Amino acid sequence: METSAPLAERMRPRTLDEVVGQRHLVGPDGVLRKALAGGMLPSMILWGPPGVGKTTMARLIAQDLKRPFHTLSAISSGVKDVREVIEQAGGSGLFSRSAVLFIDEIHRFSKAQQDSLLGAVEKGTITLIGATTENPSFEVIGALLSRCQVYILEALAEEELMILLHRAMESDAELKDRAIELKETDALMRASGGDARRLLNTFELCVKASGEGHVTITNELVKEVVQNTAARYDKQGEQHYDIVSAFIKSMRGSDPNAAVYWLARMVEGGEDPLFIARRMVILASEDIGNANPNALLMATTTMQAVQMIGWPEGRIILSQCAIYLACSAKSNASYLAIGAAQTEVKRSGDLPVPLHLRNAPTKLMKTIGYGKDYRYSHEGEGNFVDQEFLPEAISGKTLYIPGDNPREAEYAEWLRKRWKGKYDGA
């Protein structure tokens, strides 16, 4: 079954009616359908995961409106290429003033490249359709984003992927005469990850691997063909931050099962082990703090151990630490305290240090009162002397409130006994 193009390319929709999924955009009542019906097409950013039809949709939109269509890749095109297209679009040659310019992976365009599009988009010289797998809020400059509508494309659901499979078996010239049985499809669906391109190309590989004659698609066959399909995880992209966020929130939420799952997603995706370890050091202080001071020691030691041991054994150390942090008592009191203190500093400004707390290395400083009346805490009973350490303008203000956990409850009691009401609310 030798073909000049992969199955996904052969099955690319030829009209908007053939598009599977994205009904909120191109279905009968979809927002883009309505825009096309009115002959209006705004510049837009199509944002969604790989293999959901961004490029196809752009081509079909231009085709539907009978507009010239030109495409640039953000990987291989520069500012010069953009300007050449814009100049042609304003002329009477191949491009007209209503030409559609499609830029794939627009998130990879530099600021200068994106700036070069602004004038043409604003004047209507071109209608821009940008495709991105990354959140355009972070990757597209504000000036360009404000001139475009953002449409979100969704990963295809299992029933939509099944439609694509059956369509391929029934209509593709290379497959329709083959006897193909979809006995099991779970592994095929998992391998696709909602990506139509990946689904169809994996399916074609399975058919080829089965040789001539009857083909039975099973989970075992898919596993043999796909072997070790890597989970999609872009270390530079938005999903990177989403998975790290899920990892942190799972430990904060005391769920070790979820913590090790998200850890495994990062490990399988090739994440830097030291990045993972650093995130756990931060969590140990921000979300556990003095509820369990050993958590910070554990996380710091984990980072050092991963550096010493290396990979792949380092994943075991990361797992141990993630489980420990997830199962630990939690407190964000230290995090809240520094936040409250910073807010106070911004509110009250540079308040003077009380004289009794100032250092007095010279005779003049001593003469004008630096260090006067300071009492050495270790000379008091229990190594404590009641005196004010804050500037006079905020004297008595409470910034640290112990968390609701056994260890910090001890702190609260210790403070109340010594400060005679100052920490009664602690």
Domains of the chain: 22-152 (3.40.50.300), 158-226 (1.10.8.60), 238-327 (1.20.272.10), 345-419 (1.10.3710)
SS3 call for 182: strand
pLDDT tens for 286-309 read 999 999 999 999 999 999 999 888
Phi then psi for 131, rounded to 5 degrees? -115, 135
Residue of 93, 87, 17, 89 whose CA lies nearest to 57 = 17
Residue 212 has pLDDT above 70, yes or no: yes
The C-alpha angle with vertex 403 and arms to 397 and 407, in degrees rounded to 5, equals 120
Query: What is the β-pairing status of strands 99-104 and 126-132?
Result: parallel
SS3 call for 150: strand
Average pLDDT over residues 58-67: 87
Average pLDDT over residues 196-223: 87
pLDDT tens for 393-408 read 888 888 888 888 888 8
Q: What per-residue confidence (pLDDT) applies to 235? A: 55
pLDDT tens for 130-180 read 998 888 887 788 889 988 999 999 888 889 999 999 999 999 888 888 889
Angstrom distance (rounded) from CA 333 to CA 158: 45
Angstrom distance (rounded) from CA 155 to CA 136: 17
The two structure tokens encoding residue 244: 């790290």
Q: What per-residue confidence (pLDDT) applies to 232? A: 55
Q: What per-residue confidence (pLDDT) applies to 65? A: 83
Q: What's the sign of the alpha-carbon dihedral 252, 257, 259, 262?
A: negative
Residue of 341, 346, 349 whose CA lies nearest to 397 = 341
- Read off the pTM: 0.57
Angstrom distance (rounded) from CA 202 to CA 273: 31
Phi then psi for 281, rounded to 5 degrees? -60, -45
Phi then psi for 150, rounded to 5 degrees? -105, 125
Angstrom distance (rounded) from CA 20 to CA 13: 9
347 confidence band (pLDDT: 50, 70, 90): confident
The two structure tokens encoding residue 384: 């404590």
Angstrom distance (rounded) from CA 19 to CA 38: 20
Alpha helices per DSSP H over 65-151 = 79-89, 111-123, 136-139, 142-145
Angstrom distance (rounded) from CA 234 to CA 256: 24
377 confidence band (pLDDT: 50, 70, 90): confident
Average pLDDT over residues 13-21: 89
